[in-house]
Amino acid sequence: MSSLPLLVRAFREPAAMAGFNLAEWDLLLRQSVSANLSASILGLVDQHDLMDRIPAEAREHLEWARTLALRHSQGVRWEIACIARALAPLGLPLILLKGGAYAAAGLPPARGRLFSDIDLLVPEQRLPEVEARLMLNGWAATHLDDYDQRYYRQWMHELPPMRHIKRQSLIDVHHAILPKTAALRPDPAKLRAAAVPLAGQPGLWTLAPADMLLHSAVHLFCDGEFDKGLRDLVDIDRLLRHFGTAPAFWAALPARAVELDLARPLFYALRYSARLLGTPVPPAALAAAEAGCPNAALLALMDALFLRALLPLHASCADRLSGAARFALYLRGNWLRMPPLMLARHLFHKAFLSPKDGGPQTEPVKL
């Protein structure tokens, strides 16, 4: 374990942070910034009552992170309330996804988690109504290029991202959790049917526990961007520790993964959260998840790639193959999203035509 980055060691064994010296804290905080996990480190320090046992300089940094986390939490609650009001006339259950769901439900992954947009899941046939209501309430599309509009509306699992014209907050409206062109096709109707309402928050729902974990696994292991890979793996670890206190969860999770055609992402989620973060996964659940295990050669390759790409994007966590691993997973993520010919056309257009049409899109604004 000593060979793991300090940030990974902190999540595996939070109490060890009490023994870190000033130089180690300096490196830990640099790694946490690169992984967007500074506020999460603060949450660990508070949870384990370590604040008085760490260097004063580290405490000062974490108190700044506390201010940012508080502001972010207030912004998320306000944004969710605004979205709910805007869409209330539709009488539609609004299923929150990812960070918004964790925050609204008060789940452990919300502790110190910073994110840039609110994600919703609605039926595909209701997308025009949802989009119209959002536009009437101040949200506008961010991708106005004709190609991007067609790309999202014909092939993807979501509308083009929408930004509020005053608050600059972002919302992603999904009708599925993977693109229409992806090899894996979990049925969104099954996800909606199993969703659970949020107590005291009329009209707001989240995915069922097993489905929430599976969506987190899909988001991490079917994508090609790993700059926040460790943060997403921490989400998985915290969801498993939280929901795993109910024995029925472990029995239902592998079966639900097979039902939704998500056995492979679940296998990776359990394997790498256990190996990197020490997530306690019952042997029976690990055995059941073997249904998604690739062949031995592919598994060895995935280990070499994921065990590098899931570390913080910081020089202290890299070796000479880390860049190649991230690039290979970027290519894999695109390969999983669409068939080869469509992928080739898409990459050609984005590389040579899109910059001429309007330049790069602006980065999301923090809530």
pLDDT confidence of residue 152: 78
Cross-strand partners of 162: 141, 171
139-141 and 162-164 as β-strands: parallel, antiparallel, unpaired? antiparallel
Question: What's the token pair of residue 351?
Answer: 């590389």
* Cα 145 from Cα 355, distance rounded (Å): 10
pLDDT confidence of residue 354: 63
* Cα 12 from Cα 278, distance rounded (Å): 6
pLDDT confidence of residue 224: 83
Are 191 and 168 spatial neighbours (Cβ–Cβ below 8 Å)? no
Are 267 and 194 spatial neighbours (Cβ–Cβ below 8 Å)? no
Sign of CA dihedral 232, 155, 183, 285: positive
Backbone angles phi, psi at 157, to 5 degrees: -100, 15
Are 109 and 102 spatial neighbours (Cβ–Cβ below 8 Å)? yes
What distances in angstroms separate CA 228 from CA 36, 37, 144, 177, 310, one per listed residue? 7, 9, 27, 19, 8
What is this structure's pTM? Answer: 0.90
* Cα 258 from Cα 42, distance rounded (Å): 37
pLDDT confidence of residue 210: 97
pLDDT confidence of residue 1: 45
pLDDT confidence of residue 367: 54
Cross-strand partners of 141: 162
**Could you identify the residue written with the tokens 């690039």?**
327
Cross-strand partners of 204: 94
pLDDT confidence of residue 317: 94
Backbone angles phi, psi at 120, to 5 degrees: -125, 150
196-197 sheet: strands from edge to edge: 139-141, 162-164, 170-174, 117-121, 94-97, 204-206, 196-197
Question: What's the token pair of residue 174?
Answer: 């999904």
359 dihedral zone (left: phi>0; alpha: psi -120 to 50; beta): left
Q: Which helix (H) or strand (E) holds 174?
A: strand 170-174
Are 315 and 33 spatial neighbours (Cβ–Cβ below 8 Å)? no
pLDDT confidence of residue 363: 40
- In sequence order, the 6+-apart residues with CB closer than 8 A to the CB of 74 are none
- Type of residue found at 337: R
Question: What's the token pair of residue 318?
Answer: 């890299």
What distances in angstroms separate CA 233 from CA 97, 248, 360, one per listed residue? 16, 22, 29
* Burial (Cβ within 10 Å: 0-12, 13-18, ≥19) of residue 149: middle
pLDDT beneath 50, residues of the chain:
1, 357-366
170-174 and 117-121 as β-strands: parallel, antiparallel, unpaired? parallel
pLDDT confidence of residue 351: 65
